[in-house]
Amino acid sequence: MPRPRIIVSGLIAQYPLGGVAWDYVQYVAGLARLGYDAYYVEDTGIWPYNPEEGGISKICDYNVRYLQQLMDRFGLGSRWAYCFPHGSQWFGLSDASRKEVIETADLLLNISGTLAAPAKYRSVRRLAYIDSDPVFTQVKLARGETSLASLMVAHDVHFSFGEALPGNTPPTQYAWIPTRQPILLDEWPAIDERREVFTTVMNWTTARPIVHEGVRYGQKDIEFERFIDLPARVKPTELEIAVNLGKTRKTPYDLLRHKGWRLADPDTVCPDLDSYRHYLSASKAEWSVAKNGYVVGKSGWFSCRSACYLAAGRPVVVEDTGFDAVIPTGRGVLSFSNPDEAVADIREVEANYDAHARAAREIAHQYFDARKVLERLVEAALAG
């Protein structure tokens, strides 16, 4: 008996960047490897970003070519469709094939709520919303944001990377089923090459803080400011952040350099699938803060990027969001809540590196293996 037909939505063509591609392709490729009849459909209603143009493009040639090459690489060359919003132009699957896939699908995974109009896909037996931005999602619903509320009610089942919800977040009407990023472990082999530097890839800020009932839920900039003096405290350990150099005036580049942070341009060091993987894999470990909203909300969110570091056998030293309720910490994954704890964690990794590197890979196998994560996800999504 054939396994269910599953559609995955995402932002691979919309934002043709290394980290974004890994976030979504590990779903559809992972499902295909498990024997599911998997397809990728991207229908965001948003004009695409073109890195060669340095901004939003009025055409989609680059984005379609990028998506085609990526799907070919993972053996999915005839299993994708992309809608360019100008005139609703479709690429990939023929109109007849796309219609047949949608009308006969058992499940659609709307990851990060990327579908512009989920109601158009109501012929699919089950629609599942994958909340990759917990706390902010729940706060917006509690604030009564009608567009998000309309999006949610179009789905049959709701999952969240906030595995410890509700945490400190306001209640909603939805029963959030815990899930996490699936990782294709064989795509993240441990490599011998290693730079003696702790790294991360990040945006300084992407939106203004949200305030609800007197509580502010902000972005990474708010948390990073608490750790601005960290490089001086952990010398000779080097800390590097790949942050959008020159792309926004909000990032305090001069101050960061003055405080001893090494800065890298993600457009140079990790623009595509392979360079992103190499940047993470060739790092000694990750050090990173989380969005302020994640820290305040204590939802148990854990970064997709950090999961990739773990899979590559690189320890992660990351800010506490309540994930210790679902993922073991102390070896491989070290959490901190203040600068003193961050210093201690970095020193611990330096002193016992091999043990932490082994533990990182073990945690990836036990907690993020795409085979385990996706089987649980599909089973829960199709139940009921």
Give me the pLDDT at residue 206, please.
84
As a residue count, the chain comes to: 384
The half-sphere exposure of 155 on its side-chain side, counting CA atoms within 13 A, is: 28
pLDDT tens digits, residue range 313-324? 999 999 999 999
Give me the pLDDT at residue 249, please.
58
Give me the pLDDT at residue 369, please.
98
Round to whole Å and give the CA distance between 195 and 205: 27
* Residues 18 and 30: beta-carbon distance below 8 Å: no
Q: Measured over all CA atoms, what is the biggest interatomic distance in the chain, rounded to whole angstroms? A: 62
Q: Count of CB atoms within 10 A of residue 151's CB?
A: 20
The single-letter DSSP state of residue 93 is: S
Give me the pLDDT at residue 207, please.
87
Task: Kindly list the distances between the CA atom of residue 116 and the CA atoms of 27, 46, 66, 69, 119, in Å, as whole numbers in the listed order.
Answer: 19, 8, 21, 24, 9
What's the token pair of residue 103? 């009308």
Round to whole Å and give the CA distance between 290 and 212: 19
Give me the pLDDT at residue 244, please.
82
Q: Which residue has the tokens 């699936």?
A: 182
Low-confidence stretches of the chain (pLDDT beneath 70):
245-249, 384
Give me the pLDDT at residue 245, please.
65
Round to whole Å and give the CA distance between 243 and 227: 16
Closest-CA residue to 188 (of 306, 328, 342): 306
Give me the pLDDT at residue 248, please.
54
Closest-CA residue to 237 (of 315, 324, 321, 313): 315
pLDDT tens digits, residue range 241-299? 999 865 555 889 999 999 999 999 999 999 999 999 999 999 999 999 999 999 999 99
* Residues 332 and 316: beta-carbon distance below 8 Å: yes
Q: Which residue has the tokens 């219609």?
A: 99
Rg of the chain, C-alpha, whole Å: 20
Q: Global pTM?
A: 0.96
In degrees rounded to 5, what are phi and psi of residue 84?
Answer: -85, 125
Asked if the bond preceding 328 is cis, omega within 30° of 0, the reply is: no
DSSP conformation letters of 188-216: S---S---SEEEEEE-S-SSPPEEETTEE
